[in-house]
Amino acid sequence: MKKKEILVGLTVALALVLLFVGINFLKGVNVFKAANYYYATYTDVAGLSTSAPVTINGFKVGQVRSVEYQYDNPGHVVVEFSVDKALRIPQGSQAVITTDLLGTATIALRMGADRSAFYSVGDTVATGVDAGLMSAVSNDVMPAVSAIIPKIDSLITGLNTLVSDPALSASVRRMDNITADLGASVQSLRTVMAAMEPVSRNVTSITANVDTISGNLSTVSGELAAAPVDSIMGELNRTVANLEQLTAALNNPDSSIGRLTSDPELYNNINSTVMSLDSLFVDIKRNPKRYISIKLL
């Protein structure tokens, strides 16, 4: 009977131990890990709860063990927190409550620079409260937003007035017409460009011909540059001199050529001779037997 009672007692004790370990495990407390305990006193612990993390530079080094109100010191709350056994907190450090955007509070240890003296286990660490992001938003951003809201309201009123103005609708319709006209103009321009394409090809061909002509002119210029211009000019000068001598002879009545062109008696004699020859040819045609005798054997 005694063995059975002992077994039941051991079972109940083991269940209690497992329950204690399980509850602490759910709280995030490792009962098998050695830790040092410290205290901190605050006047405002909004958002801070048991099992909240204790961090240094964002790294978790412990957690909050308990949060209790001091009834013998109204307005103050005592927070017990544990840190790793190997961590020693220097004198002058602060346990500051910080709040994130969602309102969850944590304790951030801001280590002091003096490492000659340290808090003993169970000491009360100096405290502070970080304003947090939400507090900065409430104190800095919200007043600016409140000042902007009336301006936004005025802006919306102005926009409503502008939108309801019939002139705006008329302007939009005119813009639609202008857009349609631009579309028609673009289409017409495309048609003109398509029609200009053969002209462009002809221009290209003409340009090629101009290049050819330019090359030929260059060749002719080279040939002219290589021609014996001096000898040609000498021949031209001699020809002009001969023509001048011939002209002078024709204009001189004493020269033989001048007499041919200026003596009227010579002209009359030549004319009379031509007339006589003409009469002779006429008579030959009329009386060929007089001049030609044909004898048949």
Taking only the tens place, the pLDDT of each residue in 140-152 is 666 776 778 877 8
Which of the listed residues 75, 108, 130 is the one where a domain comes to its end? 130
237 and 149 together in one domain: no
Global confidence as pTM: 0.40
Question: Is 295 domain-assigned?
Answer: no
pLDDT, residue 164, reads: 78
End-to-end CA gap in the chain = 202
Which residues, in sequence order, are CB contacts of 66 under 8 Å at separation 6+?
50, 79, 80
Render pLDDT for 246-279 as a digit per residue (tens, 0 to 9).
777 767 766 666 666 666 776 677 778 888 888 8
Render pLDDT for 177-230 as a digit per residue (tens, 0 to 9).
888 888 888 888 888 888 777 767 777 777 777 778 877 777 867 766 666 767
43 and 122 together in one domain: yes
Domain count, the chain: 5
Q: Are 123 and 38 in contact (CB under 8 A)?
A: yes
pLDDT, residue 297, reads: 47
Question: Is 191 domain-assigned?
Answer: yes
The closest of 81, 58, 83 to 127, measured between CA atoms, is 81
Strand order in the sheet with 59-69: 35-42, 77-84, 59-69, 53-56, 105-110, 94-99, 126-129
Question: Is 91 domain-assigned?
Answer: yes
pLDDT-above-90 percentage for the chain: 14
Render pLDDT for 91-139 as a digit per residue (tens, 0 to 9).
989 999 988 777 788 899 999 888 889 999 999 999 886 755 555 556 6
For residue 126, give its domain range: 34-130
**Rounded CA gap, 93 and 115, in Å?**
10
234 and 206 together in one domain: no
Question: Is 285 domain-assigned?
Answer: no
